[in-house]
């Protein structure tokens, strides 16, 4: 009986493995296709970051969306990692940067004072050509460097700390502000954190989603706020899904919030309309 169970498990394991492998191959091949086919399957959406002191949107995060004609919607959490491993992330990032810069121009022209935050993966940061590509696009579309900022995931930085610090310094020298994304999930030491040339920490949404109910999350978030502010770093809380969380974060001196409660990620024209309509909204009553 036991033997039968292990054989069953083995078969199951093998089937799961094959399924995952097939899915991976499909994603790689379809993504290659999407990247050259006028890129209409890929688009960018934007999620506002609300600055709590003034109650104003000062930044918006650019998030990629892929609607594949054969695979349907594929979430970035699934395909970005595969793109990195398959050597396709450079092309994905080229698309992201170019589109975000074009949209940043559109946002400025609409009269809004909003900076676009672009997510970069570890492989991007180590790409020596990335900064010059960004510069070229900024110049070509006549967008000021101050209109862009970048988010880098904490666990990516921890993989090669020394190298990461060097590369991030090059971004800072060009005048871009940098945030550590998913903070609290990557085990960076305090000593390391102090060396990083970043200006903001973004608290991972796993600590924020149930903030109002979970006292352990409240303690973690308050501790991160105190730590970050002692280091003169701004703090963004992502995953704010209700008014109680927003109120707590404001009370504790969090600098920015982002989440479905404020606004979902939406396309650039919708975001511009949303920002214009919500310019006078009082978020705290
Ligand atoms: P991230 O940068 O930490 O982005 C936050 C994620 O949380 C986004 O998921 C966003 O849609 C989602 N989110 C925002 N507010 C809420 C909320 O209130 N509740 C919940 N449950 N979720 C919320 P998304 O767009 O699926 O992106 C997932 C991850 O994929 C991102 O995490 C980022 O690491 C990566 N990613 C997305 N776009 C890009 C991109 O253009 N380039 C790169 N390199 N990575 C990207
Ligand atoms: Mg991010
Ligand atoms: Mg995050
Ligand atoms: Mg992330």
Q: Any idea which of 64-68, 158-162, 235-239 has the lowest mean pLDDT?
A: 158-162
Ligand 1: which atom is nearest the Cα of residue 261?
Answer: 18
Report pLDDT digits (tens) over 30-42.
999 999 986 689 9
Q: Tell me which of 162-171, 208-217, 218-227, 253-262 is least confident.
A: 162-171
Ligand nearest to the CA of 240: 1
The pairing of strands 256-258 and 234-238 is parallel
Both tokens of residue 226?
């105190």
Query: Tell me, what's the pLDDT at 38?
Result: 66
pLDDT tens profile 248-258: 999 999 999 99
Helix, strand, coil percent content, the chain, rounded in steps of 5: 50, 20, 30
Asked if 236 and 256 touch (Cβ cutoff 8 Å), the reply is: yes
Ligand 1 neighbourhood includes 88 CB (under 6 angstroms): no
- Mean pLDDT, the chain, as a whole number? 93
What are 258-279's pLDDT values in tens digits?
Answer: 999 999 999 999 999 999 999 9
- Predicted confidence at residue 97, as pLDDT, reads 97
Range among 10-19, 92-101, 120-129 rated most confident: 92-101
Task: Examine the pLDDT at 216 and tell me if it is beyond 70.
Answer: yes
Between residues 233 and 126, the one the model is more confident about: 233
Instruction: Give the model's confidence band at 281: pLDDT under 50 very low, under 70 low, under 90 confident, else very high.
Output: very high
Mean pLDDT over 169-187 rounds to 90
Percent of the chain with pLDDT strictly greater than 90: 78
Give per-residue pLDDT as tens, 47-78: 999 999 999 999 999 999 999 999 999 999 99
Ligand number, closest to the Cα atom of 265: 1
Work out the pLDDT band at 3, boundaries 50, 70, 90: confident
242, pLDDT greater than 70? yes
Q: In sequence order, what DSSP letters do the residues of 222-245 get, joined into one string? A: HHHHHHHHHTT-EEEEE---SHHH
Neighbour-count burial of 219, counting CB atoms closer than 10 A to its CB (0-12 exposed, 13-18 middle, 19+ buried):
exposed
Identify the CA nearest to 92 among candidates 80, 101, 104.
80
Supply the pLDDT for residue 39.
Answer: 60
Phi, psi dihedrals of residue 175, rounded to the nearest 5°: 95, 10
Q: How far apart are CA 195 and CA 198, in angstroms?
A: 9
Ligand 1 centroid–CA 239 distance in Å is 10
Contacts 24+ apart (CB under 8 A), 103-109: 103/44, 103/46, 103/62, 103/268, 104/143, 104/147, 104/148, 105/141, 105/142, 105/143, 106/268, 106/272, 107/60, 107/268, 107/271, 107/272, 108/143, 108/147
Closest ligand by atom to 121 CA: 1
Higher model confidence: residue 191 or residue 255? 255
Closest atom of ligand 1 to 209 CA is 19
76 lines ligand 1 (CB under 6 A): yes
Nearest CA to ligand 1 atom 14: 259
Residue 161 confidence (pLDDT): 80
pTM: 0.94
Work out the angle at residue 100's Cα, subtended by the Cα atoms of residues 95 and 104, and round it to the nearest 5 degrees.
155
ipTM associated with this complex: 0.98
- pLDDT, position 14: 82
């Amino acid at each position: 009986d036991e033997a039968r169970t292990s054989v069953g498990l083995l078969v199951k394991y093998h089937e799961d493995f094959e399924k995952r492998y097939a899915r991976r191959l499909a994603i790689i091949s379809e993504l290659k296709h999407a990247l050259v086919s006028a890129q209409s399957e890929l688009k960018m959406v934007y999620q506002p970051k609300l600055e709590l002191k003034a109650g104003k949107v000062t930044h918006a995060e650019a998030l990629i969306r892929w609607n594949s004609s054969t695979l349907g919607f594929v979430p970035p959490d699934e395909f970005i990692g595969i793109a990195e491993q398959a050597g396709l992330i450079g092309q994905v990032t080229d698309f992201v940067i170019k589109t975000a810069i074009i949209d940043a121009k559109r946002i400025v022209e609409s009269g809004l004072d909003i900076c676009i935050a672009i997510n970069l993966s570890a492989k991007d940061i180590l790409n020596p050509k990335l900064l010059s590509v960004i510069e070229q696009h900024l110049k070509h579309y006549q967008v000021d460097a101050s209109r862009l900022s970048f988010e880098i995931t904490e666990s990516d930085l921890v993989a090669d700390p020394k190298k990461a610090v060097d590369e991030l310094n090059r971004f800072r020298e060009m005048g871009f502000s940098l945030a550590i994304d998913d903070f609290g999930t990557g085990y960076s030491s305090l000593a390391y954190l102090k060396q990083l040339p970043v200006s903001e920490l973004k608290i991972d949404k796993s600590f924020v989603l149930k903030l109002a109910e979970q006292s352990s999350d409240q303690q973690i978030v308050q501790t991160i706020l105190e730590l970050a502010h002692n280091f003169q770093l701004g703090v963004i809380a992502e995953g704010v899904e209700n008014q109680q969380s927003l109120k707590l974060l404001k009370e504790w001196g969090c600098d920015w919030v982002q989440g479905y409660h404020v606004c979902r990620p939406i396309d650039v024209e919708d975001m511009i309309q949303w920002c214009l309509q919500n310019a006078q909204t009082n978020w705290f009553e």
